[in-house]
Amino acid sequence: AQSVSQHNHHVILSEAASLELGCNYSYGGTVNLFWYVQYPGQHLQLLLKYFSGDPLVKGIKGFEAEFIKSKFSFNLRKPSVQWSDTAEYFCASRSYNTDKLIFGTGTRLQVFP
């Protein structure tokens, strides 16, 4: 079955530190990949998405992700985090035969001033 893995469950950083959150997917065919963010008490918001083309995807709030097909990875990066980036981050893959999203377990990011 298709799956998405996020290896970092909890990440703690100081403001201005660089961020990289890992995401690996299992499906070897054409993939649609997403990163969502969930701020405390809020709904899921789309940070960025990859469908095809340039493997380096830029999203909102200074986030970017790189699709590396050979590694089945779609890691999220930000060069300098802010306290306001404290949230839970979910990587997701669209199911190859339906529209459902398959989510990773999420990474909780805490940024301290």
Partner 1 sequence: DSGVTQTPKHLITATGQRVTLRCSPRSGDLSVYWYQQSLDQGLQFLIQYYNGEERAKGNILERFSAQQFPDLHSELNLSSLELGDSALYFCASSASPGSSYNEQFFGPGTRLTVL
Query: Is residue 76 within 8 Å of residue 35, measured between CB atoms?
Result: yes
Using a 10 angstrom Cβ sphere, with 0-12 exposed, 13-18 middle and 19 or more buried, the burial of residue 73 is middle
Whose Cβ is closer to partner 1: residue 48's or residue 111's? 48
**Interface region with partner 1, contact rule CB under 8 A, candidates 14-22, 36-44, 56-64, 72-80:** 36-44
Query: Is residue 19 within 8 Å of residue 77, measured between CB atoms?
Result: yes
Residue 5 CB partners (closer than 8 Å, separation 6+): 23, 24, 25, 26, 104, 105
By CB under 8 A, residue 105 contacts partner 1: yes
The pattern of x and - marking residues 39 through 58 that bind partner 1 according to CB under 8 A reads ---xxxxx--x-xx------
What's the CA gap between 40 and 43, in Å, rounded?
9
**Interface region with partner 1, contact rule CB under 8 A, candidates 15-23, 61-69, 74-82, 92-100:** 92-100
Among the listed residues 63, 94, 107, 109, the single contact to partner 1 using CB under 8 A: 94
Among the listed residues 57, 81, 106, 111, the single contact to partner 1 using CB under 8 A: 106
Enumerate binding residues for partner 1 (CB under 8 A).
30, 32, 36, 42-46, 49, 51-52, 90, 94, 98-106
